[in-house]
Amino acid sequence: MAQPRLFMTFSREEIYTNLETRIHYLHSFIDFSSKDIEALIGGAKYVKALIPAVVNIVYKKLLQYDITARAFTTRSTSFEGPMDVRLTEDSPHIQHRKMFMRAYLNKLCSDPSRMEFWEYLDKVGMMHVGLGRAHPLHVEYIHLGMTLALIQDIMNEAILSHPRLALPRKIAIIKALNKVIWIQNDLLAKWQVKDADEFRNDDEDIVIEKEGYVNGIKILRTDDDGSSGEESRPDSPSRIPRPSTTGVHPAPPPGLCPFASMVDGLDLDGKEAAPATPPPKKPYVAPRLAGYKPENFGDDKVNPNAPREETEQLVAPEAW
């Protein structure tokens, strides 16, 4: 007799009005578990090593388009007038923003079992709709989503290309990181879309805080603080309920496609296929990170022997 299927109930209103409930629902739906937390924390040193290169690539992309570059001078992507200043990567303001993006990406590598981790990601969404800042910033959702997609793409490529990580470890890190990025994407959309407007409290007081603060506590460390982006609050147990695994079938072994058993040993005609010969292994460096040493991604010292064709074409010369 088949076991009854697990049925979870969530209040629609609570999902839109209570952050913990929303996070619990998201964790449950995408199966974000303690294994993902372990993979993210255990792989943090590899992800953090990528951050300087990722930030440089992202800002080259943002400054390549007028619609995203104008946010750094007009504080709004919807402004369509002329731009007074032509910013470059060396502009003091861009260097300042790069510092905060490095701190933000370091924050993604901290402990997601703590509620303040998700509170900060929610605040990132709030800050981009003109709330919670002394100097409001308005960035439309399409640009936020595409920036997250670019970050995800670069990191996936670099982690998959790492010459020393075993494939199961790469899969675990990428799965965990992608889940966090998609929850961040939801928390950006939460402040932008019109879903559940009937529950929105327009009279709610929005507290204006300095960047990197949540509820008066500094949780985002920048280069000026001389730290690596860890939180200042002491360790605290998670208040987020963990998804139940009752009645759930065991997961396939790490690194195995869940559908592998359906086609194992078959070719396209349904006949038994000859065993495949694995290709020889050799170190590979992601093209966009080719200027960085593969043994320590993120090192600002460029490898002079690395191929340069794609790194030099990230931004067309005429865009500058």
CA distance 119 to 44: 20
| pLDDT > 70 in the chain, percent | 61
Instruction: Give the chain's domain count.
Output: 1
Q: Is residue 191 part of a domain?
A: yes
CATH code of the domain containing 144: 1.10.490.10
Domain of residue 59: give its range.
Answer: 14-232
Give domain status of residue 163, yes or no. yes
> Among 105, 133, 120, which Cα is nearest to 47's?
105
Summarize pLDDT for 264-276 with one digit per residue, the tens: 444 445 454 555 5
How would residue 302 be classed by pLDDT, with cut points 50, 70 and 90? Answer: very low
CA–CA distance from 6 to each of 27, 51, 251 (Å)?
A: 16, 40, 16
In a domain, residue 308? The reply is no
pLDDT digit string (tens) for 281-300?
555 556 667 665 544 544 34
Q: What is the pLDDT of residue 88?
A: 84
Q: Looking only at Cα atoms, what is the longest distance across the chain? A: 71
Residue 212 contacts by C-beta under 8 Å, 6 or more apart in sequence? 100, 103, 218, 219, 220, 221, 222
Q: For residue 156, tell me if it sits in a domain.
A: yes
Residue 195 falls within a domain, yes or no?
Answer: yes
128 within domain boundaries: yes
Q: What is the pTM of this model?
A: 0.64
Angle at 90 between CA 86 and CA 95, to 5 degrees: 105
- Is residue 214 included in any domain, yes or no? yes
- Per residue in 175-220, pLDDT tens? 999 999 999 999 999 999 887 777 777 666 667 777 677 777 777 7
> Count of CB atoms within 10 A of residue 221's CB?
20
Is pLDDT above 70 for 280? no
Tell me if 183 is assigned to some domain. Answer: yes
Residue 253, pLDDT > 90, answer: no
Percent of the chain beyond pLDDT 90?
Answer: 42
Give me the amino acid identity at 89.
E
